[in-house]
Amino acid sequence: MPLSSLGPRVLLRRLREVMARPETAQKKLDTIVTLIASNMVAEVCSLYVMRPGQWLELYATEGLKREAVHKSKLKVGEGLVGTIAAEAELLNLSDAQSHPSFKYLPETGEEIYHSFLGVPILRGGVTIGVLVVQNRARRQYSEDEEEALQTTAMVLAEVIASGDLEEVALAVAADVAHVRSHHLKGNNLAEGIALGHVVLHEPRIIITNLIAENIPLEKQRLEQAVATLQESVEHLISHAENLRGAEYSDILESFRMFAHDRGWLRRMREAIDTGLTAEGAVERVQNDNRARMLRIEDPYLRERLNDLDDLANRLLRILTGQIQTAAQGNLPKDTILVARKMGPAELLDYERNKLRGVVLEEAGETSHVAIVARALGIPAVGRVEGIVEIVDTGDPIIVDGQAGDVHVRPPSSIEQAYAEKVRFYARKQAQYAALRDVPAITRDGVPISININAGLLVDLPHLHDSGADGIGLYRTELQFMMAASFPRLNVQMRHYSAVLEAADGKPIVFRTLDIGSDKTLPYLRQPKEENPAMGWRAIRMALERRALLELQLKALLTAAAGRELRILFPMVAECSEFRAAKAVVERVKGLLQARGHELPQSVKLGTMIEVPALLWQLDTLMREVDFVSIGSNDLMQFLFACDRGHSRLHGRYDTLHPAVLSLVREVVKKASAYGVPVNLCGEMAGRPVEAMALLGLGLQSISMAPAAVGPVKSMILALDQRKFSDFLQPLLSGPERSLRPEIERFARENAIPV
């Protein structure tokens, strides 16, 4: 069945004429399905529209029984139409009734039709309807016919969402969600509390014309806009290198790659050939990408599609001449950005002194934008479902980065409570700032080394601002995660040199690449695993891919020439793995020395203690390492067989359980017996109650987020370590539950701020 002589371009022009008529919405839809059926020489054309509750309702048909209109309904995922809606992909079948998802609706009379072509009607990557053509003869529809129906569906999306169809779910006469208060929950991406007013990061791009009059002219407009886009990306990269450091340039390299991607550009040109304007072509390809993105679970693949979506928005704004993002407008001094998603480069576009917080619908803890928000110290909450639909620019909003709470248009009681909370927090911060240069020594004279965890150059000012003694954990993988391709030797060397220079002589522990589990690299092929947290990751990967480990070690050893270098190996489960890693270090040192490179003044090697098996090898391990670091985050999840990222298990097992504390005590005792320095760098070190318990077990070095240094130091200065240790030790062999109540009671009775 070839396309009619009308052709897709003529069909689009006819559709535009129909939309301009002063007719009811139903009359327009009836005419449209008749036009499509005629154009595609189809015996049936049907339009289904998404209704509340995830129902697809037959809204118009040519060929099926008219009495079925507004009566035939399918749930998303039900039947062929429901399958198309659920998967956001077309179905092209020569015998529809043999498909396992086929569902017979007797009121439609469709049993006599065999061939079936259905496409989703997408708006912003979300399915808002389904368009179907059918014929009696068994045949496969051609690619041209698929393309024509997809292009038509895109125009229909504009009709459905335009507001002309007041009956459909997308056009609501009065939306009470935009006037009442809301309390929404999400995931905390970056800690802190912010009160301010909503600024929608991405004002709605209004496309007034989808149907092309002059195809060559539209292609020329697209080429010019793409050239402008590519120039703007180059400017962003240059700006990042000059003002913000090399790691931001790495983030933006992915934009450079996509901006020059030939496949993306080819698909947009092909969409223009179907009769769309340049804007329509960009939106058509963007909708397809968004639909794919919504079905991908891998956070890093989604992040890459986010980058592409960001570029498409920038391209649309160039073509339409509309404001790029809110970053180009006048921002209030208490801006809280709200967006479905953002690229990290977009966050860097905003004036830092006006930005109070960020709320996102889609970003997770491992997304690039979350990493940058944490590095900049901006409170952020992600995975806040539906936030964009219920806020308007200027609405008052509260972001609680600690609890993952967002309050939209909060009542005065909530606003006053949070305002007091912020004032209290500010007073506390001022008190902590006054302690910056005060040594962290307990009341009974025990010196404690307080260090910070870091992973980006932008973290380094926190080292001095917080008064920390050093960096107890430098996560080298963040540089790799934010790069578009594997960082070369000179890039890694420059990065590590800059970190060492910024530390100004304070000690740094560099953890080698800890990739795997929830941290993957899009440019590094990794096998799909059933249980990646306990799979091929960290030192296991490094020892099998020696070239990657050797390259990183070469960069570290060269960057630290003449200085002390501390290297920490993650996820060690057997002493033999540490020995193998140590042998690689010695090999790289020998190669560098042979080539005349200056080596570090000293090289100290340590291992993370996070795999429980290592706890039964401590005597052997302590004879071989220069230092150890307890990774309480992974140690906890392996100890309790509890996925730390699982929402239902969050908080189920307490770090102050005797089992955890007893293991920490055992490591501290063994390390002390062998004279090996021991540090704890997990999240529990940054919470005063947990940090107090660690000191009671004999730890004298802990590492935490920079913001935690003040509260923890305040606790240390008020603590009598020996008295608390005498109180804590007997409890470890007692209850089979968390010791938190007992420890908090001791703190209250002894006026220790926790």
Name the token pair of 48: 């289904």
Which amino acid would we find at residue 740?
R
The DSSP bridge pattern shows strands 449-454 and 701-704 to be: parallel
Q: Report the candidate in 609, 665, 667, 610 with the shortest Cα–Cα distance to residue 635.
A: 610
Residue 414's Cα: distance from chain center in Å? 29
Cα–Cα distance measured from residue 662 to residue 667, given in angstroms and rounded to the nearest whole number: 9
Q: Which amino acid type is present at position 515?
A: I
Chain-centroid distance of CA 145 in Å reads 37
Is 368 labeled as catalytic in the residue annotation? yes
Contact residues for 192 (Cβ-Cβ < 8 A; gap 6+): 357, 377, 378, 379, 399, 401, 402, 707
CA-atom Rg of the chain in angstroms: 30
Nearest partner of 370 among 296, 292, 306, judged by Cα:
306
Q: What phi, psi does 182 have (nearest 5°)?
A: -140, 140
Kindly state the helix (H) or strand (E) to which residue 645 belongs, with its residue range: none
Token digits of residue 25: 């919405």
- Residue 626 DSSP symbol: S
Q: Please provide the distance, in angstroms rounded to a whole number, between the alpha carbons at the two ends of the chain.
A: 75
Which residues, 6 or more positions from 553, have their beta carbon under 8 angstroms from its beta carbon?
A: 512, 567, 584, 585, 588
Do 616 and 589 form a contact (C-beta atoms < 8 A)? no
Of the candidates 216, 370, 217, 234, the one whose C-alpha atom is nearest the C-alpha of residue 314 is: 234
Residues 665/698, Cβ–Cβ less than 8 Å:
yes
State the helix-helix crossing angle for 215-243 and 299-320, rounded to 10 degrees: 120
Q: Which amino acid is at 80?
A: L
SS (H, E, C) 250-288: HHHHHHHHHHCCHHHHHHHHHHHHCCECHHHHHHHHHHH
Q: Give the separation between CA 107 and CA 115, rounded to whole angstroms.
A: 19
Identity at 28, one-letter amino acid code: K
**Nearest in space to 567 (alpha carbons), one of 546, 577, 550, 582:** 582
Looking only at Cα atoms, what is the longest distance across the chain?
A: 93
Active-site annotation holder among 114, 495, 575, 681: 681
Of these residues, 368, 407, 462, 495, which one is catalytic? 368
Contact 65, 107 (CB under 8 A): yes
* C-beta atoms surrounding 672 within 10 Å: 14
642 is a catalytic site residue = no
Mind telling me the catalytic residues?
368, 681
